[in-house]
């Protein structure tokens, strides 16, 4: 399995992915889930992938040459000449359908589901930054101010911190920290997600970035974050009061009369008990 997250903010974009794949507890390997498409001064795009590895690798290869033909009178659209991220994502969707048309029937015959999920985001000169989630059918949705991030893969463990921290106004460094905490929480609870981790931070309107890093568990910042997050969580947990049933000695009793009926409770009669 895998875990990837893409975040769109007013200040820029953050992308983070793990590198672990597995086909059972005794078959674990490392494959990069992130690829950067960059033309300095013109466009910057990042693709994250999850799902069947053979499908995602095929999509990545085809995407670099895939063309979207609108009509006989217009030149074909590729990710390298698309005028908008929307058009570039349409090319990606077509690449997914291309692989589906080629491989889906054979995979189905072998008992393998056509399963791929992608996060695609970036900026093309002439428009603002955009972030998309692309599904196995090649269709996609776009991130909004209300939903400024997308996750693919093992998303449930790392979601709470993203929901509590991220807003469009969040600074890039803080968002990168949040993404790493989200990844650390996921790795803590799921062995199918693991290092090395690929992190990219893109500043709006630059059309290139030098904030690219691949880190393992020995990375000094990651080690600090992992240890401090676990310690602070424990400290916050210990600072919370234990539940108290009697309201005589606390302002926050657990048991209060809220007018709601109680859970069903069956009391057996003595003659009904088994001897």
265 belongs to a structural domain: no
More confident residue, 267 or 228: 228
Cα-based distances in Å from 54 to 58, 104, 113, 141, 224:
6, 12, 12, 24, 35
DSSP label of 263: P
153 belongs to a structural domain: yes
271 belongs to a structural domain: no
**3-state DSSP call for residue 221?**
helix
251 belongs to a structural domain: no
23 belongs to a structural domain: yes
**Tens digit of pLDDT for each residue in 100-117?**
999 999 999 999 999 999
**Tens digit of pLDDT for each residue in 133-177?**
999 999 999 999 999 999 999 889 999 999 999 999 999 999 999
* Sheet with 212-215, edge to edge strand ranges: 149-153, 3-8, 12-17, 197-203, 212-215
Domain count within the chain: 1
Determine the pLDDT at residue 270. 64
Determine the pLDDT at residue 121. 98
CATH number where 184 lies: 3.60.20.10
248 belongs to a structural domain: no
250 belongs to a structural domain: no
**Tens digit of pLDDT for each residue in 5-24?**
999 999 999 999 998 876 45
Mean pLDDT over the full length of the chain: 90
247 belongs to a structural domain: no
Q: What tokens appear for 228 in the block?
A: 């401090």
Q: Which domain holds residue 146?
A: 3-233
């Amino acid at each position: 399995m895998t875990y990837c997250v893409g975040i769109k903010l007013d200040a820029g974009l953050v992308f983070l992915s793990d590198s672990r794949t597995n086909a059972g507890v005794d078959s674990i390997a490392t494959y990069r889930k992130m690829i950067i498409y960059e033309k300095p001064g013109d466009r910057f795009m990042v693709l994250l992938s999850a799902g069947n590895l053979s499908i995602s690798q095929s999509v990545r290869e085809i995407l670099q040459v895939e063309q979207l033909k609108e009509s006989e009178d217009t030149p074909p659209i590729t990710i390298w000449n698309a005028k908008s991220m929307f058009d570039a994502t349409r090319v990606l969707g077509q690449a997914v359908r291309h692989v589906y048309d080629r491989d889906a029937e054979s995979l189905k015959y072998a008992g393998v589901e056509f399963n791929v999920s992608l996060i695609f985001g970036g900026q093309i000169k002439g428009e603002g930054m955009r972030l998309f989630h692309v599904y196995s059918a090649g269709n996609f949705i776009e991130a909004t101010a209300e939903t400024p991030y997308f996750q693919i893969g093992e998303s449930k463990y790392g979601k709470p911190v993203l929901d509590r921290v991220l807003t469009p106004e969040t600074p890039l460094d803080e968002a990168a920290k949040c993404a790493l905490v989200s990844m650390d929480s996921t790795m803590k609870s799921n062995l199918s997600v693991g290092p090395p981790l690929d992190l990219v931070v893109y500043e709006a309107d630059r059309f290139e970035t030098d904030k690219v890093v691949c880190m393992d568990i020995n990375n000094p910042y990651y080690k600090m974050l992992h240890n401090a997050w676990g310690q602070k969580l424990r400290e916050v947990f210990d600072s919370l009061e234990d539940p108290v049933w009697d309201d005589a000695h606390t302002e926050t009793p657990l048991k209060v009369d809220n007018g709601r009926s109680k859970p069903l409770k069956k009391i057996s009669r003595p003659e009904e008990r088994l001897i």
